[in-house]
Amino acid sequence: MAGGPRARRLDVFTRRLLRRHPDDGTARLFRARQLIRSGQLDDAATELGRVAPPWNAIAGYHGLLAELHVRRGAHDDAVRAFRHALAAAALGAFRCQVCGAEAEEWRGYCESCRSWDSYRSSYQALQSEG
């Protein structure tokens, strides 16, 4: 692996992290990022292929996929991945868990269905699915 001792230490660290936590989406994304930065694009593609839901629906996943496509010269695929990243980032809205109403900020009361404390951020929804 090129990049000197620091890059080698990071490689060892991310490998060990994934051995200990193979289902951790954050660890897989971190490893894929490290592989892309070091130019190991095939390994990065393999790692991104192993990212499971809900982690493969977040903006960071699609951003890494877009960066991978750019480095490979697949610009049409990169544009599609960037669009997915932008759409996933827009999930920052809050949604009522009872009726599905959306709001730009958290609310204690849903005007649509009149339920209390039912708004959750998209991040909280992803966490509860995983």
pLDDT tens digits, 48-59 = 999 998 889 888
Regarding whether 71 and 32 lie in a shared domain, the answer is yes
Regarding whether 75 and 28 lie in a shared domain, the answer is yes
Regarding whether 77 and 113 lie in a shared domain, the answer is no
Report d(CA 126, CA 130) in Å as an integer. Answer: 6
Regarding whether 44 and 10 lie in a shared domain, the answer is yes
pLDDT at 32: 95
pLDDT tens digits, 77-130 = 999 998 888 777 765 578 889 998 888 777 889 999 999 989 887 655 544 544
CA distance from start to end of the chain: 33
Q: Which residues contact 93 (CB under 8 A, 6 or more apart)?
A: 102, 103, 104, 121, 122
pLDDT at 130: 45
Distances (CA, A) of 74 to 31, 43, 68, 79: 21, 17, 9, 9
Regarding whether 123 and 67 lie in a shared domain, the answer is no
Q: Which two tokens stand for residue 82?
A: 């960037």
Domains in the chain, number: 2
Regarding whether 115 and 67 lie in a shared domain, the answer is no
Regarding whether 101 and 53 lie in a shared domain, the answer is no
Q: Are 11 and 34 spatial neighbours (Cβ–Cβ below 8 Å)?
A: yes
pLDDT at 99: 93
Regarding whether 112 and 61 lie in a shared domain, the answer is no
Cis omega (within 30 of 0) on the bond before 5?
no
Q: Using alpha carbons only, how large is the chain's radius of gyration in Å?
A: 18
Q: Are 71 and 87 spatial neighbours (Cβ–Cβ below 8 Å)?
A: no
For 37, the domain range is 4-91
Regarding whether 26 and 8 lie in a shared domain, the answer is yes
